[in-house]
């Protein structure tokens, strides 16, 4: 890969955990293929260069105030980043592109949500490729927002939640990728800009694989006539890369080592989702009553009004007598690959969904917002490797759903289908497989940029 060695790629991740991980994984893949890597990152959720000594890092000031950086309104945060990062990113590109000592820059790979990078890259005549860190199927739901808006599916949803959306089967109105925000118009604008600037980019890269999302990819290729590369699942190319913003608690692995095979339910709702203390208590009691061992990730601040787990009943963990293990952050990929894990209770972020599929683990789905809703619907109704918890969180219902996935025939069938998907993952990455070939095309394409 001599040619690649003489080219540098600039990567700009959105500074949220679920976006940083796949971008850094992609950086590792491209580095393995011989490219030099420069990562541009914001001061908000900044990255630790010492974990990636083989990359060059450039930090740009995003100018977020402490209050702005800690907002719970993700859409407000994203739209601020899309405004405040423009000038610092422009200055950074000017510096990087005028550096004679470095290899020539082939292209920028930007997170799709950082749509402003399109105009800036154009000023420098720099090819801009886009990494969309979610699935293809949910992206098509975002791309359909103008139609959905026109047909009234996005507003006044309450009376129509169960209605099927004929334009996006098998989605119902309640599965559309929305999120609670103070300003829905900002969300619509963000989605419109993301889709428009993805469409006008030099190429779209996906952390997905053909066999998983074939119909969606066919539609995408038709509607987005630009080079498309589906090279996922990224994290399977090498052992877990450490782009975690929080330290992994390794005690979960020694705890899992002591459990029986396929016996544990792993519970994690990703890096952003939060809940009320009422919901949290129902989860705690539902898990306790299920009689299954469980490993539960509770991030500090995840429960409204609590620092961590202080609102759990005093004797909760003692009462379980070692059957439950709670951590602040887990080495999730390692956990899902552990023989003791039998099911994953997840919020269905795309990374978590894909990581579960890669290990053949059936899911209890509890999507919270945006693409998670679409992912959950695909898990339950297309790939059929999970059950969705719906209509509020109640301990009895939780117990029932866990039983369906962990014990009943239905769960065993899900496990078989999940095992089949796992096999597909390993095939798509092998020489001649769909992701293998797509990666080869991506490398040749970048070399030719
Ligand atoms: N993750 C982790 N430890 C945890 C929980 C999550 O390392 O305890 C990782 C997980 O492996 C995934 C990412 O954080 O790569 C979460 O991304 P996802 O898209 O699932 O959800 P988000 O955090 O964006 O809602």
pLDDT tens across 200-224, in order?
Answer: 999 999 999 999 999 999 999 999 9
On the question of pLDDT at 199 being above 90, the answer is yes
Ligand 1 atom with least separation from CA of 21? 15
pLDDT (tens digit per residue) in 287-313: 999 999 999 999 999 999 899 999 888
Comparing 82-91, 179-188, 320-329, the range with the smallest average pLDDT is 179-188
Ligand 1 midpoint to CA 341 (Å): 17
Ligand 1 midpoint to CA 398 (Å): 22
DSSP H/E element including 379: helix 371-381
* Minimum CA distance residue for ligand 1 atom 9: 332
244 lines ligand 1 (CB under 6 A): yes
- Residue 392 has what pLDDT? 83
In this prediction, residues 153-171 reach a mean pLDDT of: 89
Give the start-end residues of each E strand in 128-284: 128-132, 203-206, 228-230, 264-268
- What percentage of the chain reaches a pLDDT higher than 90? 88
In this prediction, residues 15-40 reach a mean pLDDT of: 96
Ligand 1 midpoint to CA 344 (Å): 12
267 lines ligand 1 (CB under 6 A): no
Mutation choice for ligand 1 from 15, 16, 17, CB with most ligand atoms inside 8 A: 17
17 lines ligand 1 (CB under 6 A): yes
- Residue 6 has what pLDDT? 82
- Residue 3 has what pLDDT? 52
Ligand 1 midpoint to CA 373 (Å): 16
The Cα–Cα gap between 278 and 304 comes to 10
- Residue 4 has what pLDDT? 57
> pTM for the complete prediction?
0.96
- Residue 5 has what pLDDT? 59
In this prediction, residues 394-400 reach a mean pLDDT of: 96
Rounded to 5°, angle at Cα 200 from 196 and 204: 95
Q: Read off the tokens for 417.
A: 């289908």
Mean pLDDT, the chain, rounded, equals 94
Mutation choice for ligand 1 from 252, 268, 351, CB with most ligand atoms inside 8 A: 351
pLDDT (tens digit per residue) in 61-101: 999 999 999 888 899 999 999 999 999 999 999 999 997 77
On the question of pLDDT at 182 being above 90, the answer is no
329 lines ligand 1 (CB under 6 A): yes
Q: Are 237 and 25 in contact (CB under 8 A)?
A: yes
> Is pLDDT larger for residue 242 or for residue 278?
278
326 lines ligand 1 (CB under 6 A): no
Ligand 1 midpoint to CA 294 (Å): 18
In this prediction, residues 158-185 reach a mean pLDDT of: 91
The Cα–Cα gap between 99 and 393 comes to 55
- Alpha helix (H) ranges present in 44-135? 66-69, 74-84, 86-97, 117-123
The Cα–Cα gap between 415 and 406 comes to 9
- Integer angstrom CA distances of residue 191 from 23, 131, 145: 20, 15, 8
Comparing 137-141, 201-205, 235-239, 321-325, the range with the smallest average pLDDT is 235-239
pLDDT (tens digit per residue) in 239-273: 766 899 999 999 999 999 999 999 999 999 999 99
In this prediction, residues 223-244 reach a mean pLDDT of: 91
- Residue 238 has what pLDDT? 80
Ligand 1 atom with least separation from CA of 134? 19
Give the pLDDT band of residue 183 (cuts 50, 70, 90).
confident
- Residue 21 has what pLDDT? 95
Q: Are 165 and 149 in contact (CB under 8 A)?
A: no
13 lines ligand 1 (CB under 6 A): no
- Residue 12 has what pLDDT? 98
* Minimum CA distance residue for ligand 1 atom 2: 332
233 lines ligand 1 (CB under 6 A): no
Which domains, ranges and CATH numbers included, belong to the chain? 2-242+428-448 (3.40.50.2000), 251-425 (3.40.50.2000)
In this prediction, residues 322-334 reach a mean pLDDT of: 96
- Residue 83 has what pLDDT? 93
């Amino acid at each position: 890969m001599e040619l690649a060695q003489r080219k540098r790629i600039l990567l700009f991740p959105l500074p949220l955990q679920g976006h940083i991980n796949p971008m850094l994984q992609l950086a590792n893949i491209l580095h393995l293929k011989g490219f030099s890597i420069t990562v541009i990152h914001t001061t908000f959720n900044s990255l630790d260069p010492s974990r990636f000594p083989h990359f060059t890092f450039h930090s740009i000031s995003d100018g977020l105030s402490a209050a702005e950086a800690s907002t719970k309104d993700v859409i407000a945060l994203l739209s601020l980043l899309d405004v405040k990062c423009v000038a610092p990113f422009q200055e950074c590109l000017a510096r990087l592109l005028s550096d004679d000592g470095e290899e020539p820059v082939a292209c920028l790979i930007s997170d799709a949500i950082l749509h402003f990078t399109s105009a800036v890259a154009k000023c420098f005549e720099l090819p801009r490729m886009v990494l969309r860190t979610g699935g293809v199927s949910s992206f098509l739901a975002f791309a359909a927002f103008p139609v959905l808006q026109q047909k009234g599916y996005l507003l006044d949803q309450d009376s129509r939640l169960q209605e099927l959306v004929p334009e996006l089967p098998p989605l119902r109105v309640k599965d559309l990728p929305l999120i609670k925000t103070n300003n829905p118009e900002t969300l619509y604008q963000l989605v419109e800009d993301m889709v428009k600037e993805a469409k006008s980019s030099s190429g779209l890269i996906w952390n997905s694989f053909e066999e998983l999302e074939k119909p969606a990819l066919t539609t995408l290729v038709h509607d987005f006539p630009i080079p498309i590369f589906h090279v996922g699942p990224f994290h399977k190319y090498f052992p877990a890369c450490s782009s975690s913003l929080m330290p992994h608690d390794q005690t979960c692995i020694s705890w899992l080592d002591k459990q029986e095979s396929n016996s544990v339910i792993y519970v994690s709702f990703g890096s952003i989702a939060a809940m009320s203390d009422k919901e949290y208590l129902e989860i705690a009691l539902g898990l306790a009553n299920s009689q299954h061992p469980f490993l539960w990730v509770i991030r500090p601040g995840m429960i409204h009004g609590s620092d961590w787990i202080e609102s759990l009943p005093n004797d909760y963990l003692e009462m379980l007598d070692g059957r439950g293990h709670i951590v602040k952050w887990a080495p999730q990929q390692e956990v899902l690959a552990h023989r003791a894990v039998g099911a994953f209770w997840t919020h269905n972020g795309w990374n978590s969904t894909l990581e579960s599929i890669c290990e053949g683990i059936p899911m209890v789905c509890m999507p919270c917002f945006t693409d998670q809703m679409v992912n959950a619907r695909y898990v339950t109704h297309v790939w059929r490797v999970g059950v969705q918890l719906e209509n509020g969180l109640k301990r009895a219902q939780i117990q029932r759903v866990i039983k369906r996935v962990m014990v009943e025939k239905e769960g065993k069938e899900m496990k078989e289908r999940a095992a089949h998907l796992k096999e597909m993952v390993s095939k798509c990455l092998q020489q001649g497989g769909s992701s293998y070939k797509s990666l080869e095309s991506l490398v040749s394409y970048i070399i030719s940029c």
